[in-house]
Amino acid sequence: MDISTKLKDKRKQVGFTQEQIAQKLHVSRQTISNWETGKSIPDIYSLVELSNIYDISLDNLIKEDVVMMKELKKENQEKKILNSGIIISGVGILMMLLSILIPNDHIQSFCNGFGVGLLITGSTVLILVKILRKLYQ
């Protein structure tokens, strides 16, 4: 049994509506519907809360759903890459701002050039992740 079916069955078993579960998890009713129809999967924090609400172990809730486990792993890898791109871009911006404060022309040029390079690299990472996400979904 996949997780979407388990979530729907457990919700009905405990007598909650999608709206009630959505309020408990601070998400929209549509999000709950998407989880129960298999259009998306809950994040790990929501899974922990759902296991508490439905009084089922997290292991029992997700263990059989190998597809979901692969999806969670992929999402975590994607988040790490996105965070790296954001950090690289941020450091690039800081280097460019730092170049404004430095009176030495050589160091100023280095910081500015290095900052632009980091900004371009970080932006490229972010754009590539978004493009690849669309291609492989």
Could you read off the pLDDT of 18-58 as tens digits, one per residue? 999 999 999 999 999 999 998 888 988 999 999 999 998 88
Domain boundary among 31, 47, 62: 62
Q: At what angle do helices 18-25 and 29-37 cross, to 10 degrees?
A: 110
Spatial distance between the Cα atoms of 49 and 35, rounded to a whole number of angstroms: 14
Domain that holds residue 13: 3-62
Global confidence as pTM: 0.51
Residue 69 has pLDDT above 80, yes or no: no
Closest to 62 (Cα-Cα) out of 50, 53, 74 = 50
Residues 52, 97: one domain? no
pLDDT > 70 in the chain, percent: 94
